[in-house]
Structure 1
Amino acid sequence: MDLEEQCVSPEAVICVVDDDDEVRESIGTFFRAAGIKVAKFGSAEDLLAWPNLPTMRCLITDLTMSGMDGLELQRELRRRGREVPVILMTAFPTAEVRERAEAQGVSSFVAKPTDPETLLAKLEALLSW
């Protein structure tokens, strides 16, 4: 996790979880430039250990990561009572993956590489900003 992104204030934040540093940085930089508070994490486990988890308003996560994957992360958040919109990113956008994600209640699904403007549009649609 980026220490500067711990977000100690109670403001709602968008959490980005991806084990690819470049993807996290690109999305984080774009969202911050758009005035959106963002916290970035290199793994699902890092997000789950974050003390400010209650401030998360939306999760943008990669499907395939070392350790817990994006769908497992969503299930664990639900188990903990954290229901938030989830945008799932994957480099392998097969019909099977999309069906699994939709069956689990993923809010939106995007193929990687992901254009930050596409993510912003999906985020705005989900959160009605």
Structure 2
Amino acid sequence: MPQGSTICIVDDDDDVRESISSFFRSVGLRVESFGAAENFLESSSVANVDCVITDLHMPGMDGLGLHRELRRRGVGVPVIVMTAYSTPEARAEAKSLGAAAFVDKPVDPEILLHDVEAILGDPSQSGPPPTFQ
């Protein structure tokens, strides 16, 4: 994974954001977190992020709406969608939008780390693809 990569966590649940952020920081990643998609989109982080991990269901703009808006703005950052309320339709829509991974909550931070490493890692390195549960 490129050194200096920035991961943005977008989730309305403070505990989830803090848990994932703390774990990623403990392995040396730079992390920024946001409690709402709109806050992330208004930040300067949009221009410098290497991967976005977002909750599917949030008040206001949801995770798929965030993904759509990033694409509309021409921001081709990889997006990992996570949710506690997975449906085949949500999974299919995330896949059709080009989500890099789709994981069910509660999320194992090791799985998220694997997904981020697979997405941002050296393409010459072989390994399992990101999770699309």
TM-score normalized by structure 1? 0.89
Partner of 2:131: none
Partners of 2:93 and 2:48 in 1: how far apart?
27
Q: How far does residue 52 in structure 1 lie from its aligned partner after superposition?
A: 3.0
Name the amino acid aligned to 1:22. D
Partners of 2:73 and 2:92 in 1: how far apart?
24
**CA-to-aligned-CA distance 1:42-93 (integer Å, 9 cap, x gap):** 0000000112321100000000000000000011111111111110001112
Partners of 1:12 and 1:29 in 2: how far apart?
15
2:48 to 27, 45, 55: 55
RMSD: 1.0
TM-score normalized by structure 2? 0.86
**CA-to-aligned-CA distance 1:1-44 (integer Å, 9 cap, x gap):** xxxxxxxxxx5410000000000000000000000000000000
1:44 to 33, 37, 43: 37
1:94 partnered with 2:91 = no
Name the amino acid aligned to 2:91. R
Name the amino acid aligned to 2:61. M
Contact 2:5 2:29 in 1 (8 A): no
2:98 to 84, 105, 109: 105
Partners of 2:71 and 2:100 in 1: how far apart?
14
Unaligned runs of 5+ in 1: 1-10
Give the fraction of aligned pairs with identical amino acids, expressed as a percent: 55
Unaligned runs of 5+ in 2: 123-133
Partners of 2:11 and 2:99 in 1: how far apart?
16
* Count of aligned pairs between the two proteins: 119
1:27 partnered with 2:20 = yes
Partner of 1:70: 63
Structure 1's consecutive aligned runs of 4 or more residues displaced over 3 angstroms after TM superposition are: none
